[in-house]
């Protein structure tokens, strides 16, 4: 181990002497040095500091031949082109041994919504939830074509301000809308999404249109197929009007077209990475949208933009045709204007497709009329009790007044008995290595080709840097991070033995990291507004495949508060 500043200088100087300098990346920690550099006992010794191990001279000498062979294996691996859609041969499942999955067919029971009169100015419908739009379409008081044209006009009008649109799918949308109106005229109704315009995060493949993943290296990319989610929404009668922005390769709100804006405060980014879906939904540019989350990408922009986001259980919705960032953590889910809208969309896109082998055939029996008394609700007491400011006067729980008010509504207005529970203690940050390694693997060729230098963001916290750094994580530690993840899943499964739903500050404690690792579902709903007019949120967490109870509680809270009815004014 090199443990002095002089040793460190000698270590770096050695790599410079063999022509590597600070360009050791990319490489595999033990065996991989840049092409042409000889693997010797000395190079192994130099690598030990990064690996955090120490070997004797005899041990190093014994390793040289096998490490040369290992480098040949890796060279052979690098010669194979692996498309982003190719998953690893191992599959993650949030279902632990002994955990029962309900697979019985269940019917979704929605609220009864009566169609009112259509407004003279169709733009008055721009912020209406899907439930109301669906009632108008079904009653043929508003045509799908009229809705589609209205939303397309708003997309064109406000995108220069919000920078949320990558590609309009206008031709496809108009054809779909006309077809849905024709079907309805013949008496065929596909369900509550029939004729409803929606937007897709631009990591979903749509045949005939670019799928850019938000970054210059893939700006001209297209696929000759539709993602499963797109196919299912087509089958449900929904009308795709736009492919919406994402922070490049699903990080943040910066993409090759600029920074997607928060409609409530347009000098502020919309957060990410489902930046466009949240911004467009909040601004009334689509009826609903589809986003994705690996580590906060539905939660964060839904909070920033005041939308309602549903991050389903991992393995609930097929990811076929979606960009892979982390095969064991990526989730696709709806971003809408109400919880019930999210439930309707989830019902249309859930279930196995025969291609994404991580998806389970689990029931979803959402019932908008289920009594809250039948659902056990907990809350993370320590997260709510954390003072607004610490001893130094620094913000540590800036949303505390809003969070405390949410508990009061649940207790006093809805009569919910809240059970205090604790966030399990675990090394959550260590388990995040899983995401780092899988993301680097998903974009291995991008890094090795040097085309990562074409990406818009080149800061220390951006993907190009992370992809390079992650090549130094030993395979042994990646496997052990997954073993730690299993322990975390066991802890959270035990926690949910006593409750069905947990309410928590959205960014309180480690819940966001933890539940993205365990695969538990979440609903994020608007929960008030700061003095500057920007929204805050509260989050409800559910059991594995427990979205029905989760949505019911979140829906009741939303109906009791009405925050979702407010919308930004972009005029």
Q: 36 pLDDT band (50/70/90 cuts)?
A: low
Domain positions in the chain = 1-80, 130-426+482-565
* Band of residue 18 on the pLDDT scale cut at 50, 70, 90: very low
From CA 318, how far away is CA 326, in angstroms rounded? 14
Give the phi and the psi of residue 380 in degrees, each rounded to 5: -80, 95
545: nearest Cα among 335, 230, 317, 297 = 317
Q: What is the DSSP string of 279-335?
A: HHHHTTSSSEEEEEESSSTTHHHHHHHT-EEEEPPTTSS--TTB--S-TTT-EEEEE
Q: What is the pLDDT of residues 330-356, one digit of tens each?
A: 999 999 999 999 999 999 999 999 999
**SS3 labels along 161-173:** HHCCEEEECHHHH
Name the burial class of residue 118, with classes exposed (0-12), middle (13-18) and buried (19+) by CB atoms within 10 angstroms of its CB.
middle
What is the reported pLDDT for 53? 86
Here the tokens at position 391 are 């001893």
Separation of alpha carbons 344 and 335, rounded Å: 11
pLDDT value at residue 19: 35
Catalytic positions are 201, 273, 297
Which residues touch 478 (CB under 8 Å, ≥6 apart)?
Answer: 433, 434, 437
Closest CA to 167 of 125, 197, 119, 212: 212
Return the closest-CA partner of residue 366 out of 551, 102, 100.
Answer: 551
Mean pLDDT over 441-466 rounds to 95
For range 533-556, the mean pLDDT: 98
Rounded-to-integer distance, Cα 129 and Cα 526, Å: 14
Please give the share of the chain, as a percent, with pLDDT higher than 90.
85
What is the C-alpha end-to-end distance of the chain, expressed in Å? 63
Give domain 130-426+482-565's CATH architecture: Alpha-Beta Complex (3.90)
pLDDT, the chain, mean: 92
* Torsions phi, psi for 288 (to 5 deg): -165, 175
Burial of 56 (0-12, 13-18, 19+ CB in 10 A): exposed
- What digits encode the pLDDT tens for the residues 136-153? 999 999 999 999 999 999
Most confident of the following: 7-16, 46-55, 388-397: 388-397
Look at residue 44 in the predicted model and tell me its pLDDT. Answer: 87
pLDDT confidence of residue 12 = 36
Q: What integer pLDDT is reported at residue 361 of this predicted model?
A: 97
- pLDDT class for 74, splitting at 50, 70, 90? confident
Give yes or no for residue 3 having a pLDDT over 60: no
Identify the burial level of 153 via C-beta atoms within 10 angstroms of its C-beta, where 0-12 means exposed, 13-18 middle and 19 or more buried: middle
Q: Has residue 15 got a pLDDT over 60?
A: no
Tens of pLDDT, residues 186-220: 999 999 999 999 999 999 999 999 999 999 999 99
Across the range 117-129, mean pLDDT stands at 96
Q: What is the DSSP letter of 247?
A: S
pLDDT, tens only, 146-173? 999 999 999 999 999 999 999 999 999 9
Q: In this predicted structure, what is the pLDDT of residue 391? A: 87
Least confident of 30-44, 324-338, 491-505: 30-44
- The mean pLDDT of 500-519, rounded to a whole number, is 97
Tens digit of each residue's pLDDT (9 = 90 or more) over 176-188? 999 999 999 999 9
């Amino acid at each position: 181990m090199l443990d002095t500043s002089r040793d460190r200088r000698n270590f770096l100087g050695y790599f410079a002497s063999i022509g590597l300098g600070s360009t050791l990346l990319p490489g595999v920690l033990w065996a991989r040095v840049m092409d042409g550099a000889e693997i010797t006992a000395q190079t192994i010794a130099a690598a030990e500091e990064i690996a955090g191990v120490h070997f004797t001279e005899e041990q190093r000498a014994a390793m040289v031949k096998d490490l040369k062979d290992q480098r040949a294996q890796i060279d052979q691996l690098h010669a194979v082109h692996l498309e982003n859609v190719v998953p690893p041969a191992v599959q993650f499942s949030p279902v632990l041994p002994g955990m029962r999955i309900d697979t019985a067919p269940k019917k979704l029971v929605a609220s009864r919504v009566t169609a009112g009169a259509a407004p003279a100015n169709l733009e008055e419908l721009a912020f209406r939830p899907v439930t109301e739009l669906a009632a108008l379409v079904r009653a043929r008081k508003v045509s799908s074509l009229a809705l589609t044209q209205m939303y397309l006009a708003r997309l064109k009008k406000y995108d220069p301000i919000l920078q949320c649109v990558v590609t309009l799918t206008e031709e496809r949308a108009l054809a779909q809308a006309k077809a849905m109106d024709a079907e309805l005229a013949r008496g065929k109704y596909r369900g509550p999404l029939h004729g409803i315009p929606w937007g897709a995060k631009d990591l979903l493949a749509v045949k005939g249109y670019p799928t850019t993943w938000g970054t210059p290296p893939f700006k001209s990319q297209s696929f000759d197929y539709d993602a499963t989610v797109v196919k299912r929404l087509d089958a449900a009668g929904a009308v795709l009007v736009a492919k919406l922005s994402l922070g490049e390769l699903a990080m943040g709100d910066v993409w090759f077209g600029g920074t997607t804006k928060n409609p409530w405060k347009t000098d502020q980014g919309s957060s990410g990475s489902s930046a466009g879906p949240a911004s467009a939904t909040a601004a009334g540019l689509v009826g609903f949208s589809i986003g994705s989350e690996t580590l906060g990408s539905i939660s964060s922009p839904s909070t920033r933009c005041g939308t309602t986001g549903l991050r389903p259980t991992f393995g609930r919705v097929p990811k076929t045709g979606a960009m892979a960032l982390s095969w064991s953590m990526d989730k696709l889910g709806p971003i809408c204007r109400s919880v019930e809208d999210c439930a309707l969309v989830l019902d249309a896109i859930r279930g196995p497709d025969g291609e994404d082998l991580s998806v389970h055939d689990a029931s979803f029996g959402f019932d908008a009329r289920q009594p809250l008394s039948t659902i056990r609700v907990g809350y993370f007491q320590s997260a709510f009790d954390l003072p607004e400011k610490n001893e130094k006067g620094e913000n540590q729980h800036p949303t505390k007044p809003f969070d405390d008010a949410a508990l009061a509504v649940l207790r006093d207005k809805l009569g919910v008995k809240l059970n205090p529970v604790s966030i399990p203690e675990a090394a959550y940050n260590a388990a995040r290595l899983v995401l780092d390694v899988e993301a680097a693997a998903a974009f291995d060729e991008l890094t090795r080709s040097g085309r990562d230098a074409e990406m818009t963001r080149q800061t220390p916290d951006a993907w190009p840097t992370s992809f390079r750094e992650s090549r130094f994580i030993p395979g042994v530690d990646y496997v052990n991070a997954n073993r730690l993840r299993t322990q975390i899943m066991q802890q959270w499964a035990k926690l949910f033995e006593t409750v069905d739903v947990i309410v928590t500050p959205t960014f309180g404690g480690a819940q966001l990291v933890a539940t993205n690792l365990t695969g538990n579902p979440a609903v994020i709903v608007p929960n008030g507004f700061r003095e500057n007019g920007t929204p805050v949120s509260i989050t409800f967490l559910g059991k594995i495949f427990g979205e029905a109870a989760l949505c019911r509680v979140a829906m009741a809270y939303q109906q009791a508060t009405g925050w979702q009815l407010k919308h930004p004014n972009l005029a």
